[in-house]
Amino acid sequence: MIYAFNKEDTSLSRMMISFAPWHMRLLVKSITLLQAFRLFPRSFSRVKDMKKFAKGAGGSPYGMGSRLERSGTSEYLEDVSRTDEHYVRVYESSDCWGLDNVGYAVASHLPPAMAGQLIAFEGGKRDWNALETKCIGLGDPYCEFKLVPGEIDELGKSLEKDFPVVEKIHERMIENLMEFLLHEQPFRERPQLGSDVHLHVVGHAMGFPHLGERYRIAQRMGGARSGKIIGERLITAGVTGDEAIKRVFDFMNYCKVGKVTLDETIRIRENCETTRTKLATAIREPSCYFTTGFLNGLFSAVKSKHVREVKCIVAGDPYCEWEII
């Protein structure tokens, strides 16, 4: 689902450009003008045209974009690419960092986003796809994927993750989180890009509630399960009650989820989950699906209580707020 959403999101970038920063709007308009005068390729079949796009489009993921949003450092591999088969290498991918040797390719942001951009800049004439061929999750020192127009036979199988696979990835992430909560062990920094990522990357994982109830349920259930597991492990380690809640909220502030405070209610100012929903959809109701699920799972495990969202930035409130019940 995330692969399809991310590809569609960037393939519609010409339609959604009004939501982009001014320099991205300027970039797209400039490229459109250059294409009209045949100074910028209308097709990206040839290596020399792809190279021009990769090195010249400073705001795209192929140029400065991936580094600016700290999702990775991308490099077009012109020596191994050929007509209608292009290879891109990504160092320090934010999707995969910390998931070394889990045994699976796990990148979900840049590969489909880059495929979608090719669709957009070719005017939707061809359907591009991306298949990850190397990954930190597979034990490689970097991630690498190929871009081709049309279907890729192996793509569906590579994207499907059965329950044991998801559990293994989830367990690795929980282990890293518990090291922070119990021992104040900071997350492993990437050598060049550090630990932060741009809000745009978060939006590509959480910003699609308009696509239907199935997606929203998945967000709520995933959040609730994660919160419950974290609460239970804190209790097992001897951290209970208000101290457990405080540690988790300190972690949320550390990760810049938003500005989280706890009094009689829970408030999150500048909540990262809602930003894209407010800007790019017509939804105007409480929409913190993952956060609400997470808080419910945490409070049910630690304090035998639940929460209910009563205010939300998407609904026009100045902050997101939950009452504890």
List the pLDDT tens digit at each of the 325 positions of the chain.
Answer: 789 888 887 776 544 444 445 555 566 666 666 665 565 678 899 999 898 777 654 445 455 778 888 999 999 999 999 999 999 999 999 999 999 999 999 999 999 989 998 998 888 899 999 999 999 999 999 999 999 999 999 999 999 888 888 899 999 999 999 999 999 888 889 999 998 888 888 877 777 777 788 888 989 999 999 999 999 999 999 999 999 999 999 999 999 999 999 999 999 999 999 887 887 778 889 999 999 999 999 999 999 999 999 999 999 999 999 999 9
What integer pLDDT is reported at residue 25 of this predicted model?
A: 58
What integer pLDDT is reported at residue 211 of this predicted model?
A: 72
What integer pLDDT is reported at residue 295 of this predicted model?
A: 98
What integer pLDDT is reported at residue 34 of this predicted model?
A: 62
Q: How far apart are CA 167 and CA 172, in angstroms?
A: 9
Q: Over the Cα atoms of the chain, what is R_g? A: 21
Give one DSSP letter per residue of 226-254, joined into a string: HHHHHHHHHHHTT--HHHHHHHHHHHHHH
- Domain covering 2-159: architecture: 2-Layer Sandwich (3.30)
pTM of the model: 0.84
Strand partners, 128: 149
Q: How far apart are CA 218 and CA 223, in angstroms?
A: 8
How many angstroms separate the most distant Cα atoms in the chain?
Answer: 68
- Which amino acid makes up residue 33? L
Given a contact cutoff of 8 angstroms between Cβ atoms, the answer to whether 195 and 264 are in contact is no
Q: How far apart are CA 170 and CA 164, in angstroms?
A: 10
- Domain covering 207-324: architecture: 2-Layer Sandwich (3.30)
Chain centroid to Cα 63, Å, comes to 19
What integer pLDDT is reported at residue 31 of this predicted model?
A: 63
Q: How far apart are CA 223 and CA 204, in angstroms?
A: 16
CATH topology match: 2-159 vs 207-324: yes
- Domain spans in the chain, listed from the N-terminal domain onward: 2-159, 207-324
Name the residue with tokens 């690795």. Answer: 172
